[in-house]
Amino acid sequence: MDCYKSTGSQGHRVNGKLNQAQTVDPPGPSLVKMGPRHRPLTAMRRFRGVLCLVIMLLTAFMMMVYLSPVTTFLVRLFSVHYSRKSTCFLFGMWLAMWPFLFEKINKTRFIFSGESVPARERVLLFANHRTEVDWMYLWDFALRKGRLQCIKYILKKSLMKLPVFNWAFHIIEFIPVERKWEIDETIIRSRLSELKNPKDPLWLAVFPEGTDYTEKKCIRSQEHAAKHGLPILKNVLLPKTKGFHCCLQELRSTIDAVYDITIAYKHRPPTFLDNVYGIDPSEVHIHISSIQVSTIPTSEAEVADWLVERFRLKDELLSDFSALGRFPNEGTEGDLSTAKCLANFVAVVAVTGFLMYLTLFSSVWFRVFVVFSSLFLTLATCYSVHLPQMIGPESSTRPKKA
């Protein structure tokens, strides 16, 4: 998932030193030359993957058309805080089915390393963007920390055209951007200003590279770095720094920490369908570094240099992973509970089955409700409308738009 594409660091210095006489190196060999698929795509795996996708779509659709009008719109008239809390609870139940698919059905190993971080913090996360599904693997980490229900992303606006999923992106307050900084800055600041309440749980994830890694993009990134005296990176792209600085500036006083996440794969970096069918990857390695907010600079130029330096260290970490096949200090997180994952899956499917029965075999008014709810969600998403709190001390008179 792309997050945003703003201009990069405006300075040409890192840690106060100008890098000179740099040459463009080839991208990291392990990132370009991929090994064979971990598992063959059999007919059974294809059938199972399609079935899982159908279940995901049906559960998402039925829960949103029946429950989100209550939690996201009706409850919000009385309390924005409890609206977010109830919406996030339902969203977390549905989202927990994806780690269940990855780890328990597809048998993909998740290996966590680095620092063991506390649960239930408000944090800003930034990660490398190796493939189109990196953002989905953050769910496995968030579930272990009791924050799956409140994870949010900055994502490219084109993803808001996906049917059904665009409703979910809207009601859980993802931040869609054009990847043009002169447009995006206002949108990001406006949305983040609504997420500053310390009582509202928040995991905001950003991908400062702005796009997923490819060999061509890596070469262009290296050419830009050589031209401007920035570090030559083989395994990641140079980060775009304006968006990250904006997020940090808006949330600095209300978050507990910043997490630097580095993701690597065995055997191959997966596509979305690889992920669904369970043919790749065999292992997902996630390295976590927790950073105290007070140690991060405040000025835009200093934050830019700081972030470029973090990606230089991230590049070294990935080079070591290529050589050793692991990150340092493994085993910082345990396995998910199969019983809890299964119980959650059964609960979501049971609720969906009951709602489908009401829709298909009960009163015609349920079908009418589904039609009007779908229309309402479509219009609210299209025009980016979040109803205000009208009763209580935080009431206002107009709906807020991005």
pLDDT digits (tens, 9 = 90+) for 352-361: 999 999 999 9
- Helix, strand and coil content of the chain, in percent to the nearest 5, comes to 50, 15, 35
- pLDDT value at residue 384: 85
- pLDDT value at residue 3: 44
Query: Is the per-residue pLDDT at 56 higher than 60?
Result: yes
Name residue 112's beta-bridge partners. 286
- pLDDT value at residue 14: 44
**Per-residue confidence band for 1, with pLDDT thresholds at 50, 70 and 90:** low
Share of the chain above pLDDT 90, in %: 73
SS3 374: helix
Report residue 284 as tokens. Answer: 């997902």
Which amino acid is residue 267, in one-letter code?
A: H
In this structure, the strands spanning 123-127 and 257-266 are: parallel
Lowest mean pLDDT among 5-9, 137-141, 226-230, 239-243: 5-9
- pLDDT value at residue 160: 85
Burial state string for 252-279 with b = 16 or more CB within 10 A and e = fewer than 16: eeebbebbbbbbbbbbbbbeeebbbbbb
- pLDDT value at residue 395: 45
- pLDDT value at residue 401: 45
Per-residue pLDDT, averaged over 86-107, amounts to 95
Q: Is the pTM of this model over 0.85?
A: yes
Q: Nearest CA to 140 among 178, 182, 102?
A: 102
Distance CA 95, CA 149 (A): 7
Name residue 266's beta-bridge partners. 283
Helix 181-193 crosses helix 242-251 at what angle (to 10 degrees)? 20
H-only helix segments in 157-292: 165-171, 181-193, 215-228, 242-251, 272-277
**Per-residue confidence band for 24, with pLDDT thresholds at 50, 70 and 90:** low
**Per-residue confidence band for 394, with pLDDT thresholds at 50, 70 and 90:** low
- pLDDT value at residue 402: 45
Per-residue pLDDT, averaged over 359-375, amounts to 96
**Per-residue confidence band for 39, with pLDDT thresholds at 50, 70 and 90:** confident
Planar angle of CA 37, 41, 43, nearest 5 degrees = 170
Q: Nearest CA to 123 among 182, 71, 72, 195?
A: 195
Query: Is the per-residue pLDDT at 283 higher than 70?
Result: yes
pLDDT digits (tens, 9 = 90+) for 107-154: 999 999 999 999 888 999 999 999 999 999 999 999 999 999 999 999
Q: How many Cβ atoms sit within 10 Å of the Cβ of residue 149?
A: 22
Name the CA dihedral angle for 22, 26, 31, 35, rounded to a multiple of 10 degrees.
-160
pLDDT digits (tens, 9 = 90+) for 302-342: 999 999 999 999 999 999 999 999 999 999 999 999 999 99
Task: Tell me if 1 sits within 8 A of 230, measured CB to CB.
Answer: no
Per-residue pLDDT, averaged over 251-263, amounts to 96
Name the CA dihedral angle for 10, 13, 19, 20, rounded to a multiple of 10 degrees.
60
Query: Is the per-residue pLDDT at 280 higher than 70?
Result: yes
Distance CA 369, CA 373 (A): 6
Query: Is the per-residue pLDDT at 399 higher than 60?
Result: no
Q: Nearest CA to 61 among 165, 175, 183, 196?
A: 165
- pLDDT value at residue 400: 46
Phi-psi group of 206: left, alpha or beta (phi > 0 → left; psi -120 to 50 → alpha; rest → beta) = beta
Distance CA 355, CA 63 (A): 8
pLDDT digits (tens, 9 = 90+) for 157-208: 888 888 888 999 999 999 999 888 999 999 999 999 999 998 898 999 999 9
Phi-psi group of 107: left, alpha or beta (phi > 0 → left; psi -120 to 50 → alpha; rest → beta) = left
Dihedral sign, Cα of residue 9, residue 12, residue 16, residue 17: positive
Query: Is the per-residue pLDDT at 18 higher than 50?
Result: no
Q: Nearest CA to 164 among 108, 215, 94, 228?
A: 94
- pLDDT value at residue 19: 46
Lowest mean pLDDT among 26-30, 38-42, 64-68: 26-30
